Amino acid sequence: MMNRPKTLLLVALGCCALLPLVGQRMNPYFLYVAYDVAINIILAVSLNLINGYTGQFSLGHAGFMAAGAYTAGVASTQLGPRLLSMMGAEGALAHAGVFLLALLLGGLAAALTGLLVGIPSLRLKGDYLAIVTLGFGEIIRVILQNTPAVGGSRGFSVAMGYTNLFWSFGLAVVTIYFVLTVVHSTYGRGFIAVHDDEVAAEAMGINTTRYKVTAFVTGAFFAGIAGGLYAHSKQFLTPTGFDFIKSIEIVVMVILGGMGNTFGVVLAAILLTLLPEVLRPVAQYRMVLYSLMLIVLMLTCPQGLFARIGSLLKRRFGTGAALEDGRA
């Protein structure tokens, strides 16, 4: 029983390793949409750890993504060539190493930002926390706009387009695996306890602040990884690409999927990445439909579209605990 998730992970990673074979024959447009799907899955699943499982409403995920994207992009562009010439290697493996290092640095930078943001702001609750995280996200954007070393508001070109189907979907699988196993571990029950009732959790001896900061830092780390993938797929970064509309987009994925329902969130991330592409002919109505959907969804089924699917999966596989979110 213990090893089943691990087997699943290995099988999924194996499938991802085969994906580039398909990718070679794919239309580049579809390829980029596929990268976006994977990146959004990572973003939504990691935000779900903060917003869904731990119940801390964060509106600054795009800021963490920006920190990761810029760090990873700068690392591979500036450090990459030097590292490669130092090692004297030019093979695909060496490039993969550089990419992995850049992603890791991006994730760590984002995690550090998450720590800096989390420690002061997690003393706040609900809408205050939302607005402060939003503020932090905007501050990160303004700082990037004013840093000439990364191109300021003109943007920054990333030299290498390392992102491929294996890396993007492989890391998405790793993110899902990580979040699910952590949340369902003994330690991870603490996140859900903080979500359900902070006062009661504290009374039971759970260090709520520590759990909140852990959730924040972990979520930010994966957002940074997603940012790194984004940097190496788009190969061009502008600070305005990480404004709070992007944060709201990620939040909507979490809401639509159902807070604290990883499978639902993954489905929502796929759906909401594909939807704008499908709606391209009526692009001007896209955001209006989007916002209307958000309002109607909140009025009719606040637990998310996929709550039922989540509970079905739960019955079938014993995972994907959908949290009841009827109360504060």
Interface pick for other proteins out of 31, 134, 192, 253 (rule CB under 8 A): 134
Write the binding mask 259 to 298 for other proteins: x where contact by CB under 8 A, - elsewhere: -------------------------xx-xx-xxx-xx--x
Q: Return the range that interacts with other proteins (CB under 8 A); candidates 6-14, 15-23, 106-114, 122-130.
A: 122-130
250 in Cβ contact with 40 (< 8 Å): yes
How many residues make contact with other proteins (CB under 8 A)? 40
d(CA 61, CA 159): 25
Write down the least CB distance from residue 34 to other proteins, Å.
27
- Chain-centre distance of CA 239, in angstroms? 18
Cα→Cα distances 152→61, 108, 165, Å: 20, 22, 30
Number of alpha helices (DSSP H) and beta strands (DSSP E) in the chain = 14, 2
Cα end-to-end distance, the chain, whole Å: 35
Assess 135 for contact with other proteins (CB under 8 A): yes
Residue type, 323: L
Q: Which of 23, 145, 160, 321 touches other proteins (CB under 8 A)?
A: 145
By CB under 8 A, the residues from 39 to 58 that bind other proteins are: 57
- Map residues 181-200 to x or -, x wherever contact with other proteins holds by CB under 8 A: ------------------x-
Three-state helix/strand/coil letters over 260-299: CCHHHHHHHHHHHHHHHHHCHHHHHHHHHHHHHHHHHHHH
Q: Do residues 233 and 161 lie in contact, with contact meaning Cβ atoms separated by under 8 Å?
A: yes
Buried b (16+ CB within 10 A) or exposed e, 209-226: eebbbbbbbbbbbbbbbb
Q: Give the range of 8-16, 39-47, 106-114, 132-140 binding other proteins by CB under 8 A.
A: 132-140
Residue 87 CB, nearest distance to other proteins (Å)?
Answer: 40
**The binder of other proteins chosen from 120, 187, 204, 277 (CB under 8 A):** 120
Contact positions vs other proteins (CB under 8 A)? 57, 120-121, 123-124, 126-128, 130-132, 134-136, 138-139, 142-143, 145-146, 199, 248, 251, 255, 284-285, 287-288, 290-292, 294-295, 298-299, 302, 325-328
